[in-house]
Amino acid sequence: MNDLPTRASAIHSGMAAPSMAGLHGAAARETADNGPSAGNIIVLGNEKGGTGKSTTAMHLIVALLRDGRSVASVDLDGHQGTLTRYIENRRSFAESEGMGLQLPDHHRIAGGEAEISEADALIDRLAASRDYVVLDCPGTDNPLARHAISRADILITPVNDSFIDLDLLARIGGTPPRVLGPSVYSQTVWEGRQRRAMSGGRPIDWIVLRNRLSPLDSRNKKNVGLTLDELARRIGCRCLDGFHERVIFRQLFLQGLTVLDLREEGAGVTLNMSHVAARQEIRRLADAVLGRGAGEARAGSPAKAGPGSTDPMLAGL
């Protein structure tokens, strides 16, 4: 663990860091072998906006709640506060329609260096009494967002399926595209890993989530996937197919609903095959977070839910 700063120097020079895949594997195996322990901290982070961080956070929160976990959430985006508004909409809709929608213990902290000690105290308090604490970071770079990475047991970085978004993770060039070196957010994560290592924390399980996937195969989609696989091997993260481009994800915000709520009486949405597929996408993410099928996931390949994942709650998503 203490050799992370040295390996950060290696990634600066464009060299591969194979041992990080081993660190990732250790983190995934710990979750899979021992099960989720009280106080696991999940951070949704990416300096680029519009990648689906808050939508992903909300759906993951509801998936964990439906799985019987106790969940707290903290919105670290003091300016936009999308997750806070999502949860407020959910509470209002549940009250107006008489629905028994599950809600997390939610909090909001404004961004800024002065709030780091306040955030740490809140996170420590919540982690002592909850199975999971989900932190939603702003789509920008600030001290609080950087500090949140060092608190993560699991870091989820949603990216749109585009080389424009990948530019934040790596410098990419050539034909066919290849990774030339790390970019700004990868370095931010490395620094967070260093701080966590120095404080004695376990390795961060970093999941890069491909969002807004097109249902159609294309050369660009294939190239993005191959590039992500190469990047994962070099920086020690998992790649997971996330949410496809679906109108339903945008429609549900005003009611505070998720695709997991569509079977509930009063949701007002007729379930169709696109919604069923979306629910499976949420299940795949929840399985990755809960460590189900973690033995099949490796750095450089999409994380997959194991065939033995038969949890009664998630199986019905």
- Map 248-310 to HEC letters: HHHHCHHHCCCHHHCCCCCCCCCCCHHHHHHHHHHHHHHHHHHCCCHHHCCCCCECCCCCCCC
Tokens 């996931």, residue? 297
Find the mean pLDDT for residues 265-281.
Answer: 88
Given a contact cutoff of 8 angstroms between Cβ atoms, the answer to whether 42 and 207 are in contact is: no
What tokens appear for 184 in the block? Answer: 């700004």
Instruction: Transcribe 117-162 into DSSP letters.
Output: HHHHHHHHHHHTT-SEEEEE--SS--HHHHHHHHT-SEEEEEEESS
What are the tens digits of pLDDT across the range 203-220?
Answer: 999 999 988 777 767 777
Has residue 299 got a pLDDT over 80? Answer: no
Q: What is the reported pTM?
A: 0.80
What's the pLDDT score for residue 54?
Answer: 94
Phi, psi of 74 (to 5 degrees): -135, 120
For 108, which DSSP code? E
Integer-rounded Cα radius of gyration of the chain: 19
Question: Is the pLDDT assigned to residue 279 strictly greater than 90?
Answer: yes
Identify the helix (H) or strand (E) that includes residue 230: helix 219-235
Please name which of 275, 283, 277 lies closest in space to residue 257, comparing C-alpha atoms.
275
Name the burial class of residue 164, with classes exposed (0-12), middle (13-18) and buried (19+) by CB atoms within 10 angstroms of its CB.
exposed
3-state helix, strand, coil in the chain (%, to 5): 50, 15, 35
Beta-bridge mates of residue 211:
160
Least confident of 41-45, 84-88, 180-184, 194-198: 180-184
- Given 3.30.70.3270, 3.20.20.80, 3.40.50.300, 3.50.50.60, which CATH number is that of 4-304? 3.40.50.300
Mean pLDDT score, 290-295: 68
300 band by pLDDT with thresholds 50, 70 and 90: very low
Answer whether 206's CB lies under 8 Å from 237's CB: yes
The predicted model gives 188-208 an average pLDDT of 92
